Chains A and B, each alone.
Chain A
């Protein structure tokens, strides 16, 4: 290795990679080209009136007192979004908190069955209170994952959903390190980062996210923060709202009612 060879190598190497990538990219670009102009606003294809992302801003409310820990949401999420079935990858999951009278707090994720976890909490006379907490990507207003992604593969849409471009994610996992909520995982099949998308494909069709759809007690409330008539805005108005780890200033858009101070 010498300087000249190295420089020459560099000159050839980077563009060569670029050109190869470009060829691959162009093929994709051609396939999706009409669709792209569709979102850009030109909307050549007929359909319902054009969707304006700026007019919406999505969030979710969670009412702790309603969650029965039935895990239907977790299963529905895995089915809807093709999440690996192994119990290590979750776009959403449920935690059980048991607060003892002496101040001890025992937490477990009931969505993962380990040898240690019990089927149900035992009635224990030293339990002060116990409850379930659903967790998912908070779709933060200031998402640390978006900030750190070196290639800009994860981004927040104008309607407030944090998405991942799985074609450009290089699998560096900096976003997984940066997420304070443990909401991200590396999909073992694609080796790219993945997480909750608020079921963006459903929401844009006017459907609810799968977890909200199947929740039997309506512990989850999905809605548009920009619509003052939405259930979410009403929920936020009627309840005392908390978010997770507010001190990190990520400004989560998953709002919890009746959240215990022990939850983090």
Chain B
């Protein structure tokens, strides 16, 4: 069979195109441009060459040993130095020329310690507007060992919210220790030495039982009222008149 004339012409064009593409792809272009492996390894190299700005806590202890020891025994033991002092690689390279900042004003500590409902319970939080207003945090707390020398204003220092609630309740005049026994250890490790809670109905009945010598408190008959629950399972003792 005769090959039509137009097919021959077309075949030349197609052949030139295909040859052009193949030559370009396999000969003209250097391997560095089409090799996925080379691209990847050079990306990794570029990534590794990026400067490290946070030097890491370990290197700090080399010079600042005392601060390190102090911090590692305190509640701030898990904090990285650079969490407060900022990225310090340059400081490690030239300690005299570059000094990392030490935040001293009242704005900084509340970043972590201001009361926020979303924060986990048990995390120490304060209300910055009422907690010793205008005083810099470091006046009472050493950031490397933040436990204050003595617990000021006793319980309300940490349990300010309970204190405020109680202050407007009919239990306002009761001190915390009326109901809670608190060990000295609780001030140092609040979660490991918990204060006691009243464990009997008779405890509340001392004031609220119908036989109680106290005149003002509302009276109930402990033997029938709300058995078998403990009183605080229904009444919130810090605001007993609040809804259940």
Contact = CB atoms under 8 A, between A and B. Distances in A.
Nearest to B56: A207
Contacts of A213: 54, 56-57, 80, 82-83
B32 A121 contact: no
Contacts of A36: 38, 41-42, 45
Interface stretch (B94-102, B115-123, B177-185): B115-123
Given A22-B28, A68-B119, 12 more contacts: A15-B28, A25-B30, A25-B32, A29-B38, A36-B45, A72-B111, A79-B53, A164-B43, A200-B44, A205-B52, A214-B82, A215-B80
Contacts of B140: none
A238 to B, nearest CB: 17
A165 B40 contact: yes
Contacts of B79: 216
Interface in A4-30: 4, 7, 10-11, 14-15, 18-19, 21-22, 25-26, 28-29
B44 A163 contact: yes
Interface in A120-173: 120-124, 127, 130-132, 152-153, 155, 157, 163-168
Interface in A59-93: 65-72, 76, 79-81
Looking at A10, A168, A204, A214, the one whose CB has the most chain B CB atoms below 10 A away is: A214
30 contacts: A11-B16, A15-B28, A19-B28, A26-B30, A28-B32, A28-B42, A29-B30, A29-B38, A32-B46, A38-B45, A40-B41, A68-B119, A68-B120, A69-B116, A69-B119, A72-B111, A76-B82, A76-B87, A79-B86, A130-B118, A155-B36, A155-B43, A165-B42, A165-B43, A167-B43, A213-B57, A213-B80, A213-B82, A216-B78, A216-B112
A22 B29 contact: yes
- Which 5 A-B residue pairs are closest in the complex by CB-CB distance? A29-B32, A214-B83, A165-B43, A15-B24, A130-B118
Contacts of B16: 11
A40 B117 CA distance: 51
A89 to B, nearest CB: 17
Nearest to A16: B24
A234 to B, nearest CB: 16
A224 B53 CA distance: 22
Given A72-B83, A79-B87, A213-B82, A201 B47 contact: yes
B154 interface: no
A201 B49 contact: yes
A9 to B, nearest CB: 12
B33 interface: yes
Contacts of B114: 120
Contacts of B38: 29, 36
Contacts, number: 163
Contacts of A10: 17
Interface of A: 4, 7, 10-11, 14-15, 18-19, 21-22, 25-26, 28-29, 32, 35-36, 38-40, 65-72, 76, 79-81, 96-98, 120-124, 127, 130-132, 152-153, 155, 157, 163-168, 197, 200-202, 204-205, 207-208, 210, 213-218
Contacts of B106: none
Contacts of B11: none
B41 A39 contact: yes
B92 to A, nearest CB: 12
A200 B13 contact: no
Contacts of B53: 79-80, 210
Contacts of B56: 207-208, 213
